[in-house]
Amino acid sequence: MSGLRLIKSVQEMSSLSENFRKDGKRIVLIPTLGYFHEGHVSMMKMGRSLGDKVVVSIFVNPLQFDKKEVYYMYPQDLERDQRIAEEAGVDILFIPSSVEMYPSGFQTYVEVEELSKHLCGVSRPWLFKGIATVVLKLFNIVRPHVSIFGLKDYQQYLIVKRMVKDLNLDVEVVAHPIVREPDGLAMSSRNIYLSPQERESALSLYRAILKAKELLSSGVRDVSQLKKELLDFIQSHPYTRVEYVEFVDPETLESVREVKGPTLLALAVYVGLARIIDNAILE
Amino acid sequence: MSGLRLIKSVQEMSSLSENFRKDGKRIVLIPTLGYFHEGHVSMMKMGRSLGDKVVVSIFVNPLQFDKKEVYYMYPQDLERDQRIAEEAGVDILFIPSSVEMYPSGFQTYVEVEELSKHLCGVSRPWLFKGIATVVLKLFNIVRPHVSIFGLKDYQQYLIVKRMVKDLNLDVEVVAHPIVREPDGLAMSSRNIYLSPQERESALSLYRAILKAKELLSSGVRDVSQLKKELLDFIQSHPYTRVEYVEFVDPETLESVREVKGPTLLALAVYVGLARIIDNAILE
């Protein structure tokens, strides 16, 4: 174990990155909200294989939370996170403060306008503006050659890729596949909010994906019919409240009426108080 | 003369910059709309003194022009610009195409929200979003250590500085003082639109600044009185149509009611078809 370094100062992080670059090191950044699970560990190991210095940021970005939402409640356990990161071979945990990230007078935002309007952006119009802004800041501070984003947040991944292209950023954006529990539930720090009964109901998202694949194999391609079946299926589980079940183009996120080419099935469902999302590309 | 290099490709420009950085060269970027005048030449010479490689970009950014406005009419003379840049010791003229800067599907914009609402942002709410976006792109392509902005566009300078701070960009933003004709008219590529009679009326902006200084020396500090005097003065010149005459805080651009500390006097006046701006900090 080479030893994990904990960095809290933006200035210190950017100087360190500059030195890494001068030494010809390839920097990998994995932006996270902390409270690591196996999905994060898998991303860290992927990071190890993609570069010389793996930086994992933990920042519960106030811009991407609704004030009513769980910003202050977002689960945290820094000691555990440190241990996990060290074991996974991470070089640096970068944990900036909100005050340093958004000092008084802060007023500059970046927005990937079209892609942000769909799916999670419908109920949370501020969400992806907050994410794009913080990711751009993290890119400018850490100056990574590569950055890894998990596909559970497919829309986020697509938006970051578009931002990188549109703003001529010199970062390679790499996708990491969704990591699931043995029974299929997509891993998420938010799963901790689920009671045992709710956790059972949360499985309905993954099962709905399997069901969609079955329906497709049996020849059902009409999206309104597919949606109806999946909605009925999910709503038959207690504690669920569906936010959306959408079939969209995986590049533009625009709704499709029929599943012809590759199609993204994306789901957001409240299970009790937890908002659970999942997705899959259907071929 | 070391020879000026003309670069049109974004990819070529960013590779070149990367090599400059690897060689430890200090890169200076001067973003322009072209059609150089003595103000540009003075910025180029300042650039020479601030770094090893002076890059001047010429890009008539469609995002910052109203469709009704003069985008296609913006004066151009690339041969003359090349000659002027070479004489001033510029290393690279970077002239990207609109198609390469804004390819199909482009949708990412940056906005410095508060500062963009004032002064020129009132009548042109899209203007500074367009400017911030293109400047950020140019920074990412050219990766300058230093970038020079003229103070005739004071609001633009302030917005770029704020963006650099808010987004953690590693660029030093340097201001260049307003360069004036012998009679006081601030230099601008747009002055070419002025007929001889209009040019005479355009001088009223600079003279209004001198008048404000006189009024202040004589003890007038009330902004509504100062504005009235300046408006009357400018409107007494033929062909003028005042867009604004404002006294604002030079950091926040918020209106002040009384001139106490340092105050920015900013003016925008149509003279015939040309929109002329000028400003000064009053102490």
CATH code: domain of residue A26: 3.40.50.620
- A224 lies in the same domain as A92: no
- B18 lies in the same domain as B117: yes
pLDDT tens by residue, B207-226: 999 999 999 999 999 999 99
The reply to whether A182 falls in a domain is no
- A168 lies in the same domain as A43: yes
The reply to whether A259 falls in a domain is yes
pLDDT tens by residue, A111-123: 999 999 999 999 9
Question: For A27, left (φ over 0), alpha (ψ -120 to 50), or beta?
Answer: beta
Span A4-19, average pLDDT? 98
Domain boundary among A135, A155, A176: A176
Quick one: pLDDT at residue A128?
A: 98
Distance from CA of B134 to the nearest CA of A (A): 9
The reply to whether B184 falls in a domain is no
Quick one: pLDDT at residue A68?
A: 60
The reply to whether A43 falls in a domain is yes
Span A224-249, average pLDDT? 98
- Judged by CB atoms closer than 8 Å, whether chains meet at A113 and B105 is answered as no
pLDDT tens by residue, A14-24: 999 999 999 99
Whether residue B145 lies in the annotated active site: no
Domain boundary among A155, A176, A197: A176
- B91 lies in the same domain as B220: no
The reply to whether A283 falls in a domain is no
- A172 lies in the same domain as A193: no
Strand arrangement of the beta sheet that strand B240-248 belongs to: B240-248, B263-271, B274-282
Among residues B134, B132, B138, the alpha carbon closest in space to that of B167 is found at B132
- Judged by CB atoms closer than 8 Å, whether chains meet at B141 and A168 is answered as yes
The reply to whether A184 falls in a domain is no
The neighbour count for residue B105, using CB atoms within 10 Å, is 13
- A121 lies in the same domain as A98: yes
In CATH, what number is assigned to the domain containing residue B251?
A: 3.30.1300.10
The pTM (predicted TM-score) of the whole model is: 0.96
ipTM of the complex: 0.95
Domain that includes residue B156, residue range: 5-176
Question: Given a cut of 50, is residue A1 above it in pLDDT?
Answer: no
Quick one: pLDDT at residue A66?
A: 75
pLDDT tens by residue, A184-208: 999 999 899 999 999 999 999 999 9
Question: Given a cut of 60, is residue A70 above it in pLDDT?
Answer: no
Quick one: pLDDT at residue B65?
A: 84
Distance from CA of A166 to the nearest CA of B (A): 6
Q: How far apart are CA B279 and CA B4, in angstroms?
A: 33
- B17 lies in the same domain as B138: yes
Domains: count for chain B: 2
Quick one: pLDDT at residue A72?
A: 62
- B210 lies in the same domain as B236: yes
Quick one: pLDDT at residue A149?
A: 98
The reply to whether A183 falls in a domain is no
Question: Given a cut of 60, is residue A133 above it in pLDDT?
Answer: yes
The reply to whether B181 falls in a domain is no
Question: Given a cut of 80, is residue B73 above it in pLDDT?
Answer: no
Question: Given a cut of 60, is residue A86 above it in pLDDT?
Answer: yes
Structure tokens at A113: 């306008």
For residue A141, the chain B residue with the least C-alpha distance is: B168
User: Under a CB-based contact definition with an 8 Å cutoff, are residues B250 and B281 in contact?
Assistant: yes
pLDDT tens by residue, B55-71: 999 999 999 887 666 56
- Judged by CB atoms closer than 8 Å, whether chains meet at A113 and B107 is answered as yes
